[in-house]
Amino acid sequence: MKIIVTGGAGFLGSRLIRALLARGASIPGLPAFDAIVSVDLAPCPVQDARVSSVVGDIADPALLARVVTADTAAIYHLAAVVSGQAEAEFEVGMRVNLDGTRALLDAARATGAAPRFVFASSLAVFGGPMPAVVPEDLALLPQSSYGAQKAIGELLVNDYARKGFVDGRVCRLPTIVVRPGKPNAAASSFASGIIREPLGGQPANCPVPQETRMWLSSPNAVIDNLLHAIAVDGARLEGRRTLNLPGISVTVADMLASLERVGGAAARALVSHEHEERIARIVCSWPGDFDVSRPLALGFTRDGDFDSVVRQYRDEFAG
């Protein structure tokens, strides 16, 4: 049996694959597997005999028909065009984020095996007037093409699960901070940049007001929750298959205060504040705090505070 990870060549996907290899056998409820297949536009960087790479377009039904077969125990669907690119390149975002999701669901349906299916969604599905703390059942009103594509994907996963084609779970991921490497086209990319670059001695710009509240999670906490999402008994979800994954609610000012406590005043001084309306318009439409009592009761977890998130990146990547 195998587990498929779309987006397996990326930071989060490759980290998830490593965690599955290292910890999968010890997690109660996680489907048994002896192979992992990464589907992405580049080969998976994980070097392990149990991991294979399929390089190609996630929106190609013929490719998916070859990959998603009756021996598929579970699928993690992480592949996506990120928020900034989806807004700037509408057709690309629709093809990958919407058409690709449906093609993958159809490939899973064709197996007749109803594999577990974890869809990585986003808090960008929300927008418009919102309470200070967003409940799990708030109506969706995305303010970006990316958010709209993710919202449609959520509905598809829930309906395919209702029909018994997949055992679906929708995980709305917090903004993941701190991501290593170079900035990407995501509107939220600055949230990592204002920590990552200063800790490396490089300048960074914060394009949104410091009072902007964000819903954040460390990479380690997100991986723990994705592992739990595939392992939790679908019956415990009681038909409510969409989950706001736990995060922590902090303002940008809080983030910069943590940067100074962990990295020093010199690191904090490297952050400038030049407003960028394109970024602010997207990010400031996202909610900054959630009621996650149900996911926590189901065994999902979150970081203790943002200082620990900054230290996690410093200790693993910044040295």
Q: CATH fold of 2-174+218-244, please?
A: Rossmann fold (3.40.50)
Q: How far apart are CA 280 and CA 302, in angstroms?
A: 26
Torsion of CA 50, 54, 58, 63, to 10 degrees: -110
How would DSSP label each residue in 178-206?
---SS--S-TTHHHHHHHHHHHTT--EE-
- pLDDT tens, residue order, the chain (319 aa): 999 999 999 999 999 999 999 998 899 999 999 999 999 999 999 999 999 999 999 999 999 999 999 999 999 999 999 988 999 999 999 999 999 999 999 999 999 999 999 999 999 999 999 999 999 899 999 999 999 999 999 999 999 999 999 999 999 999 999 999 988 888 899 999 999 999 999 999 999 999 999 999 999 999 999 999 999 999 999 999 999 999 999 999 999 999 999 999 999 999 999 999 999 998 999 999 999 999 999 999 999 999 999 999 999 998 6
The number of angstroms, rounded, from the C-alpha of 239 to the middle of its chain's C-alpha atoms is: 22
Q: How far apart are CA 72 and CA 233, in angstroms?
A: 17
Assess contact for 74 and 34: CB atoms under 8 A: no
Q: Write the DSSP symbol of residue 43.
A: -
Where does the chain hold its CATH 3.90.25.10 domain(s)? 189-214+248-288+304-318
Q: Which pLDDT belongs to residue 319?
A: 67
Q: Which pLDDT belongs to residue 185?
A: 81
Assess contact for 310 and 260: CB atoms under 8 A: no
CATH number of this structure's domain 189-214+248-288+304-318:
3.90.25.10
**Which parts of 24-123 fold into alpha helices (H)?**
61-67, 83-88, 90-93, 100-111
Instruction: Tell me: cis bond preceding 133? Omega within 30 of 0 counts.
Output: no
Q: How far apart are CA 173 and CA 226, in angstroms?
A: 9
How many other CB atoms sit within 10 Å of the CB of residue 164?
A: 9
Question: For residue 8, which of 32, 41, 49, 57 has the smallest C-alpha distance?
Answer: 41
The number of angstroms, rounded, from the C-alpha of 294 to the middle of its chain's C-alpha atoms is: 19
How many other CB atoms sit within 10 Å of the CB of residue 238?
A: 8
Active site residue 146: yes
Where does the chain hold its CATH 3.40.50.720 domain(s)? 2-174+218-244
